[in-house]
Structure 1
Amino acid sequence: MHTVVIAPDSFKGTVDAAEVATALAEGWRSVRPDDEVRLLPMADGGEGTLDAFAVAVAGAVRHAVTVTGPVGAPVEASWLELPDGTAVVELAQTSGLTLLDPLQPFAAHTVGFGEAIAAALDAGARRLLLAIGGSSSTDGGTGLLGALGARFLDADGSDTALGNAGLAELATIDVSGLRALPPGGALVLSDVTNPLLGARGAASVFGPQKGATHEDVAVLEANLARLVDRAAAAAVDPSGRVAVAPGAGAAGGAGYGLLLWGATASSGASGVGEAIGLPAAAAAATVVVTGEGRYDDQTADGKVASYVAGLAPGRAMLVAGMIQAPTEGVFIAAASLTELAGGVAAAMAAPLVHLRSAGAALAEQSDT
């Protein structure tokens, strides 16, 4: 009998991680019904992170919250309370890219994310896990910090407009009313290590994904640079060291805002994995199955499948929608939904069907 841990990421745009894990388990059990199968759906700090925790952590409680959406309209979201008093808050739910149509690169902000964090603190959260992937804005985290009590003022002492556009008028930053971190601190979950400014920064790399034109990117960058300058003048980041820290450019600079607050940056996949106890579970397992929508050369850069494979050398199996990089030496077996379905369109039309087939195919390849 095998002890099997199933720890996939979501297949973005088609199936969430919990659904992927369930379908793979059903396929596996159809071949090996006596195996002990444990589901630990994963995430890298983007959309679906909260749902992954909800499935993986027994006793987790979801709390509904209404927040200000990325351009003002109310958004219904939730945060997750874990049994140890940790709160998981996901930016994609409150200030995410999928909440806007059309995209508004200068107006979009992170106020709702800050409001959800505040709600968790008001409820007594002792520690925060903050998943920041999938942002719609490039506001440098000013929206979320404003919701937590900071003020961003123009030359007349009035609050600046929300979003990146407001940074053009920024004169002074007042953090005297900024809420304190919870006793256990705050951990930022993201697979992005970019700094805030420059060729690898938030505006240059991610601005186009949020609707910015080539000309817009230069303005977004200049406004973020003004934020860094004003943060230095206000002694919030006197040396500018936070702006160049890995992850400061994540989520349009939401990473920068959270680091200014005192949060700690973490790899999204490893942060989620540690929080749900995946390393210990993988160490005790006979086989560990992971998966993602596309397995390619970028997977090794901190993606879930690479992280999980590193926890179970010689025992890891992969399921992917498409496999576009060698799996030999990393996984002992692999299954492609595209190959099982006979094409991309067929795989995407019925992903759960083919995920069950993939789970069964991997079970058949496992040692008896």
Structure 2
Amino acid sequence: MKVIIAPDSFKECASALDIAKAIKAGWLSAQADTQCTLFPMADGGEGTVAALIANNGKLIEHPCQDPLGQAINGFYGQLQDGIHVVEVAAASGLERLTTTQRNPLITSTYGSGELIKAALAANPRKIILGLGGSATNDAGMGLLTALGARFLDEDGQPLNPGGAELIRLAEIDLSELDNRLQNTEILVACDVDNPLLGHNGASHIFGPQKGATPEQVKQLDAALAQFHKVVKTQFNLDLNNAGAGAAGGLGAGLQLLPQVTLQAGAELLMDHLGFNDIVTDADLLIVAEGRLDGQSIQGKTPTALAKRAKKINPTIKVLALAGSLGEDVQQVLEHGIDAYYCITPEGMDLPQALAQGLKNCQQTAYTVAQNISLAV
């Protein structure tokens, strides 16, 4: 049997590569003759740089600001083919903040712009920018400011950092944007396909996990609406398209740059890593993510992998492992996944689940493999 193990990272638990190794160890302990291929994945969020540099790149550390403006060491990736990789989570990620620090009214993507600026210094032919896992809701105001843009109020004064400030936006000045952006293609890997505004937009869907109260969600959505209005008036652009809501509206703001293309993050990584070639003759695909629920069908890694795999290899079976199962999880069964399993034992609290995530992955993989071997 040929098995492809293609997990995403588990937030605050383990990297995609470590998850893949744990699943492999569990599976082989039950079915030792299995040919396992590890294919650590990402969809634009945490782990995007690691997945892309695994075979032919290197990690470069660089100082930048965290979402609250504090100095940290961020990173980006450099590939051998003249491509650089930046993930927003490296500087502006939710994991950069404690639970009590999370406040999308004031958090900024400025540090992510600093990492892009650092990558531009090497004159790359292309930058892959992964969106996902951000602690922000500022429509990319911080990132664009780091690259030379100015976001101004009615008096021509720069706005303060944070998503709430966009309600005062009157003008966007792009005249001082970094000139190197004119010659650098930026492929944006969106981890979700949500629009910018409304009940399915950035603020309503992702604001609460970033620390926003219900009232603040409405405030942030109104601020993004003001940003959208200014962009529509000033540049005649409608930025409420699919993917615009990724990373707190960063998918929208990035479209103000000269050479930007938004793509589904998982699709972009599958293409770049050669997923089509390895899945052609596989018998089983194992995908994994920290949480599997109804939102997983919106461009997330597990269902994106499953649908691509079955398009190329219709007979392949797809199993999903998850740290937790959420509302409407059964919807994934209509998007290429044949069965799903929760790796966390019933009654185990979150701190324990995070601490034992790799062990739980290994044990679940063993159990599933054992059951399959007994059923054959």
Q: Structure 2 length normalisation: TM-score?
A: 0.84
* Distance in structure 2 (CA, Å) of the matches to 1:155 and 1:347: 50
Q: Aligned ranges for residues 96-245 of structure 1 at < 5 Å?
A: 96-100=93-97, 101-179=100-178, 180-181=180-181, 183=183, 185-235=185-235, 238=236, 240-241=237-238, 243-245=239-241
SS in 2 for 1:53: helix
For residues 178 and 204 of structure 1, do their structure 2 counterparts lie closer, same or farther at Cα, with a shift above 3 Å needed?
Answer: same
For residues 216 and 84 of structure 1, do their structure 2 counterparts lie closer, same or farther at Cα, with a shift above 3 Å needed?
Answer: same
For residues 181 and 331 of structure 1, do their structure 2 counterparts lie closer, same or farther at Cα, with a shift above 3 Å needed?
Answer: same
* Distance in structure 2 (CA, Å) of the matches to 1:84 and 1:121: 15
SS in 1 for 2:188: strand
* 2:17 maps to 1:12: no
The residue aligned with 1:314 is 315
The residue aligned with 1:47 is 46
* Distance in structure 1 (CA, Å) of the matches to 2:272 and 2:278: 12
Q: What does the per-residue CA deviation read over 1:166-220, in whole Å, with 9 as the maximum and x for residues that have no partner? A: 3344332221222354756222222322222233332333333333333333332
The runs of 5 or more residues in structure 2 that have no matched partner are none
For residues 342 and 170 of structure 1, do their structure 2 counterparts lie closer, same or farther at Cα, with a shift above 3 Å needed?
Answer: closer
* Distance in structure 2 (CA, Å) of the matches to 1:319 and 1:218: 34
Alignment partner of 1:249 out of 241, 245, 266: 245
Q: What does the per-residue CA deviation read over 1:36-84, in whole Å, with 9 as the maximum and x for residues that have no partner? A: 42211112222222223343xx121000011122121112110011222
* Distance in structure 2 (CA, Å) of the matches to 1:327 and 1:232: 36
The residue aligned with 1:29 is 28
Verify the 8 A CA contact 2:297 2:331 in the aligned structure 1: no
* Distance in structure 1 (CA, Å) of the matches to 2:338 and 2:198: 41
* Distance in structure 1 (CA, Å) of the matches to 2:86 and 2:38: 22
What one-letter code is carried by the residue in structure 2 that aligns with 1:144? L
* Distance in structure 2 (CA, Å) of the matches to 1:79 and 1:130: 10
The residue aligned with 2:254 is 258
Q: What does the per-residue CA deviation read over 1:286-318, in whole Å, with 9 as the maximum and x for residues that have no partner? A: 332222234444433322222222214432333
* 2:348 maps to 1:352: no
* Distance in structure 1 (CA, Å) of the matches to 2:245 and 2:342: 33
* 2:309 maps to 1:304: no
* Distance in structure 2 (CA, Å) of the matches to 1:171 and 1:327: 42
* Distance in structure 1 (CA, Å) of the matches to 2:44 and 2:343: 24
Verify the 8 A CA contact 2:192 2:300 in the aligned structure 1: no
SS in 2 for 1:189: strand
Alignment partner of 2:59 out of 33, 57, 62: 62
What one-letter code is carried by the residue in structure 2 that aligns with 1:23? A
Per mean C-alpha deviation after superposition, the further-off stretch among 307-316 and 105-114 is: 307-316
* Distance in structure 2 (CA, Å) of the matches to 1:61 and 1:51: 9
SS in 2 for 1:244: coil
The runs of 5 or more residues in structure 1 that have no matched partner are none
TM superposition shift of 1:257:
1.0
What one-letter code is carried by the residue in structure 2 that aligns with 1:81? Q
Q: Percent identity?
A: 39
* Distance in structure 1 (CA, Å) of the matches to 2:251 and 2:158: 22
* Distance in structure 1 (CA, Å) of the matches to 2:353 and 2:213: 33
* Distance in structure 2 (CA, Å) of the matches to 1:200 and 1:326: 17
* Distance in structure 1 (CA, Å) of the matches to 2:338 and 2:163: 47
* Distance in structure 1 (CA, Å) of the matches to 2:226 and 2:293: 37
Per mean C-alpha deviation after superposition, the further-off stretch among 177-186 and 124-133 is: 177-186
* Distance in structure 2 (CA, Å) of the matches to 1:322 and 1:96: 21
* Distance in structure 1 (CA, Å) of the matches to 2:297 and 2:58: 33
The alignment's C-alpha RMSD in Å is: 2.8
For residues 140 and 320 of structure 1, do their structure 2 counterparts lie closer, same or farther at Cα, with a shift above 3 Å needed?
Answer: closer
For residues 201 and 303 of structure 1, do their structure 2 counterparts lie closer, same or farther at Cα, with a shift above 3 Å needed?
Answer: closer
For residues 206 and 300 of structure 1, do their structure 2 counterparts lie closer, same or farther at Cα, with a shift above 3 Å needed?
Answer: closer
Q: Aligned ranges for residues 282-301 of structure 1 at < 5 Å?
A: 282-301=279-298
* Distance in structure 2 (CA, Å) of the matches to 1:223 and 1:296: 29
Q: Structure 1 length normalisation: TM-score?
A: 0.86
* 2:77 maps to 1:80: yes
TM superposition shift of 1:31:
4.0
* Distance in structure 1 (CA, Å) of the matches to 2:156 and 2:332: 58
Q: What does the per-residue CA deviation read over 1:334-366, in whole Å, with 9 as the maximum and x for residues that have no partner? A: 55424xx56544765533223223333444426
SS in 2 for 1:325: helix
SS in 1 for 2:7: coil
Per mean C-alpha deviation after superposition, the further-off stretch among 113-122 and 285-294 is: 285-294
* Distance in structure 1 (CA, Å) of the matches to 2:34 and 2:199: 50
* 2:98 maps to 1:93: no
TM superposition shift of 1:158:
3.3
For residues 348 and 119 of structure 1, do their structure 2 counterparts lie closer, same or farther at Cα, with a shift above 3 Å needed?
Answer: closer
* Distance in structure 2 (CA, Å) of the matches to 1:317 and 1:96: 29
